[in-house]
Amino acid sequence: MKPIYRAYLDLSSAMIIVGSSVVIGKIITEQFPIFMALMIRFAVALPLLILFSYRKHTIYIPSQRILTQVFLQALTGVFLFNVLLLIGLRFTSASQSGLITSVTPAIIAILGWFFLHERLSRYEWGGVLLCVAGVVVINMIGSVDTVNLNINSLIGNLFVLGAVTCEALFTIFRKTSKDLSAIVGAMWVTLFGLLLCLPFGIYQMLHFDLSSITLEQIGVLLYYGVFVSAVAYVLWFRGLDVAPVSVAGVLSGVLPISVIVLSALFLGEPITVYHLIGLGLVIGGIVLMALTSSRTT
């Protein structure tokens, strides 16, 4: 398989796994304190990533400059993304959150234009506008029909939008610092994510009844740590090492589709016609940006 096609597969697979994390996150927010769950997640993932790095003989301490860049990735794409997403899921549904995450390609394109000076064509700007229109339909028109202007849902969606912005920043920061391999980069951001969660997570764990945790909940936490952290991060980093930011942004459109399908299958959440209209607008925007990317790569 050509490296570029493998990169596309890695990025798409990572987004499917991240999509499942939204569904898992909805379950976790109903059963665990947020920082405690994140602390356990990163504590499970870190030994696996250290083992992978050790087997490839790539464990080392990077320079201070690279560590600073990695810390920014961890702060935005690991810590703030997950905290804002899990808080948002306490107020809104998983499917609604998945639809909001569909604007990730547009935000990545805008941030790539602003920070990396990647030029956006008129088609890409048109794609951005379609993505924004989709979010307006989901939050405004859809809210009137389905939740009677539920303020909690709107607040939750704003938190999820903040999480998506942090995820886009994570992609930008990773693209500007490719000195580390995918596995080592994932290991260091997971370590920083664990350190950021640790003070809050320990406090919440001390006030939580650990004896009440069931085997099913342990399985959920293990999946959260092994696949959402270790596997998804390695796939996303490895894909970004080959594919340009614009293509990564386009393929992140797999995320909302994954969330919507999994939310319907495992949580029984309904999908309204306004959700479909909003998603259709966003997919239209993604297609516009994809067409432009295919002409320039």
pLDDT at 54 over 90: no
Q: Where are the alpha helices (DSSP H) in 79-181?
A: 81-89, 94-101, 104-115, 122-136, 142-146, 151-175
Q: What is the pLDDT of residue 253?
A: 67
Number of residues that this document lists for the chain: 297
Task: Answer positive or negative: Cα dihedral of 55, 241, 193, 60.
Answer: positive
Q: What is the pLDDT of residue 145?
A: 44
Q: What is the pLDDT of residue 144?
A: 46
What 3-state DSSP class applies to 62? Answer: coil
Q: What is the pLDDT of residue 290?
A: 62
Q: What is the pLDDT of residue 21?
A: 85
- 């927010």: which residue's tokens? 29
- 């290991």: which residue's tokens? 187
For residues 107 and 38, what is the distance between their CA atoms, to the nearest angstrom?
A: 25
What are 176-205's pLDDT values in tens digits?
Answer: 666 677 778 888 999 999 999 999 999 999
Residue-range domain boundaries for the chain: 3-296
Query: In 3D, which of 15, 6, 9 has the Cα closest to residue 228?
Result: 15
- Residue with more model confidence, 178 or 262: 262
**Single pTM value for the model:** 0.76
pLDDT at 149 over 80: no
Confidence label for 218 from pLDDT (cuts 50, 70 and 90) = very high
Q: What is the pLDDT of residue 194?
A: 96
**Residue-averaged pLDDT of the chain:** 81
What are 283-297's pLDDT values in tens digits?
Answer: 777 677 666 555 555
Could you tell me the two tokens for 42? 């990163």
Could you tell me the two tokens for 234? 């390695």
Find all residues with CB under 8 Å of 194, minimum gap 6, and list them: 39, 42, 43, 46
Mean per-residue pLDDT, 111-116 = 74
pLDDT at 76 over 80: yes
CA distances from 113 to 11, 77, 252 (A): 20, 19, 17
Mean per-residue pLDDT, 261-281 = 79
pLDDT at 146 over 50: no
